[in-house]
Structure 1
Amino acid sequence: MAFIQMALYSETLEMSTDVNVVIPLDSKCRLQDGKLPVMYLLHGLGGDHSQWTRQSSVERYAEEKGIALVMPRVDRSYYMDMKQGADYFTYLSSELPSVLQSVFPISNRREDTFVAGLSMGGYGAFKLALRNPDRFAAAASLSGSLDMVHRLSQPEVFRNGEEGRIFGSIQELKGSDDDLFALACRVAASGNQPKLFQCCGTEDFLYQGNQNFLKHAEEIGLQVTYEEEPGTHEWGYWDRKISRVMDWLPI
């Protein structure tokens, strides 16, 4: 495995930022065109691009599966084109893949492209795949903050009014392309759905929000592989579940 710490200037963000990349070196992992399947792995609120490799064994799991990992830094943006701030979603969905595909041997085909994330990153992963179902074959949310309309009604979650700077108002979020419930309806109606994996510990403070999204998905016919078990919002749980996600991916 090669572990690359990359700094780049983003034209979208108008600033320098960081991304960590893991590349399997064994040639037997490569596809017929020499490229590698890739998973974008998203961090949680308060984390950064180093979080997954510092806190879990994801590098080892990726080596076993022969999949490249891309771990971007998005700060506390919730993977949004912020109302007052940088366009992190545009950076993640458009600019970053283009840059990385020009540098590393990673595939740009839908069937080889996946995304997963924890907490805030679970929201980001589902949003990225549901807004781009023609580009992502599968997405996984681990303890994801999936019911953001409900979360936005709890101001203690955020600090110094940042919820307004990120999302605007609840009214602006609800029904928009940043509302997973609305996105799920559109994708279910289109028939072009990526595979979805959702899990959350039953003692997690985000458990009810996960139940809300799961119920909504069932009502509209959106297919979701769902798993729950005892667990809280912590790395022991996420390390186990990201290994499970690697086994679940359609590689």
Structure 2
Amino acid sequence: MALIQMSFKSKALLMQTSVNIILPMGTNRIDFEGTNDFTYEHKKFPVLYLLHGATDDHSCWLRLSSIERYAEDKGIAVVMPNADMSAYSDMVHGHKYWTYISEELPQFLQAAFPISDKREDTFVAGLSMGGYGAFKLALRHPDRFAAAASLSGALDLVGSLRKGESSLFDNVFGDPEKVDNSQNDILFLTKQLAESNGVKPQLFQACGTEDFLYEDNVKYKNYANELGVDLTYEEGPGGHEWSYWDTNIQRVLDWLPIESNKVVSVE
């Protein structure tokens, strides 16, 4: 695997930002024909956008899990952007992280790196705030994402805001009542998806039974099941902690609809 640690000036954010990228290498054929003569096949890789949680940043998946090793076994590229405390949203008082993550970053990376732009090769996952962001991306753009996974996700954000449990996001949303039935409300977006006639992403949800977000995750699971949404749900012992997420990101990679060591030919 190749690890690319990159900083660049985002037009959406109007500032420098950082992103970590893991690119497979072993899945490409490398022919050695004499001294200093290497040939690489021109291929594009399926990609997983992997989102961090609140209080974390783009480095945490690399530092606190073995995602690089797991991704290598699957032949998949992994993109880990920084989104600060934005809830992957265009903030009322702050930066336009939704525009950056959903629009600018994929376009930039697809132009700069061998990453597929096909829906069937594009996935998103995240933990906690990142689980919320992952589902929001897939539910708002089902035409772009084939699958999304939430680990310990903050999936009932409206309920948390109403109970005053998510004051960290005051600068993101402003009036919490404006989140209800909006494009930032995961329950509302799920209902929209269920009622649509278009393509629908596969959804994976997992949460530890000792996690403080467990009840919110059960609520979402029951709601999605009532709507008939294609949702794979798993739970088991575990809290809001990296030992749980490191284990379950492996489950996510096994669940994703990709072939092992798949590469996508450039047309």
State the TM-score, normalized to the length of structure 1: 0.95
| Cα offsets for 1:86-138 (capped at 9, x unmatched) | 11011000000011111110000000000000000000000000000000000
Q: Distance in 2 between matches of 1:82 and 1:238?
A: 27
Task: Please report how far the alpha carbon of residue 84 of structure 1 lies from its aligned counterpart in structure 2 after TM superposition.
Answer: 1.4
Alignment match, 2:69 = 60
Alignment match, 2:109 = 100
What letter corresponds to residue 13 of structure 2 in structure 1?
A: L
Task: Please report how far the alpha carbon of residue 33 of structure 1 lies from its aligned counterpart in structure 2 after TM superposition.
Answer: 6.8
Q: Distance in 1 between matches of 2:176 and 2:158?
A: 6
Q: Distance in 2 between matches of 1:115 and 1:235?
A: 18
Pick aligned residue for 1:196 from 200, 203, 224 = 203
Q: Distance in 2 between matches of 1:220 and 1:20?
A: 36
Question: What pairs with 1:17-166 in structure 2 (closer than 5 Å)?
Answer: 17-28=17-28, 34-159=43-168, 163-166=169-172
Q: Distance in 2 between matches of 1:130 and 1:5?
A: 29
What letter corresponds to residue 125 of structure 2 in structure 1?
A: A
| Cα offsets for 1:23-81 (capped at 9, x unmatched) | 0012449xx97100000000000000000010001100000000000000000111011
Q: Percent sequence identity over matched residues?
A: 57
- The structure that has the greater radius of gyration is 2
Pick aligned residue for 2:231 from 217, 224, 229 = 224
Task: Please report how far the alpha carbon of residue 153 of structure 1 lies from its aligned counterpart in structure 2 after TM superposition.
Answer: 2.1
Pick aligned residue for 1:245 from 237, 240, 252 = 252
Q: Distance in 2 between matches of 1:27 and 1:226?
A: 31
Helix, strand or coil: the match of 2:43? coil
Q: Distance in 2 between matches of 1:183 and 1:154?
A: 21
* Greater RCO (Cα-Cα under 8 Å, separation 6 or more): 2
Alignment match, 2:242 = 235
The 10-residue stretch of structure 1 (34-43 or 169-178) with the greater mean CA deviation from structure 2: 169-178
Q: Distance in 2 between matches of 1:82 and 1:157?
A: 15
Alignment match, 2:261 = none
Structure 2, gaps ≥5 residues long: 30-40, 259-267
Alignment match, 2:12 = 12
Pick aligned residue for 1:177 from 174, 183, 189 = 183
Larger relative helix fraction? 1
What letter corresponds to residue 173 of structure 2 in structure 1?
A: F
Helix, strand or coil: the match of 2:21? strand
Structure 1, gaps ≥5 residues long: none
State the TM-score, normalized to the length of structure 2: 0.89
What letter corresponds to residue 57 of structure 1 in structure 2?
A: S
What letter corresponds to residue 78 of structure 2 in structure 1?
A: L
What letter corresponds to residue 25 of structure 1 in structure 2?
A: M
The 10-residue stretch of structure 1 (146-155 or 106-115) with the greater mean CA deviation from structure 2: 146-155
What letter corresponds to residue 176 of structure 1 in structure 2?
A: S
Alignment match, 1:2 = 2
Q: Give the 4+ runs in structure 1 shifted more than 3 A.
A: none
Alignment match, 1:207 = 214
Q: Distance in 2 between matches of 1:173 and 1:156?
A: 14
Helix, strand or coil: the match of 2:89? coil
Is the contact made by 2:27 and 2:75 (CA closer than 8 Å) also made in structure 1? no
Q: Distance in 2 between matches of 1:229 and 1:165?
A: 34
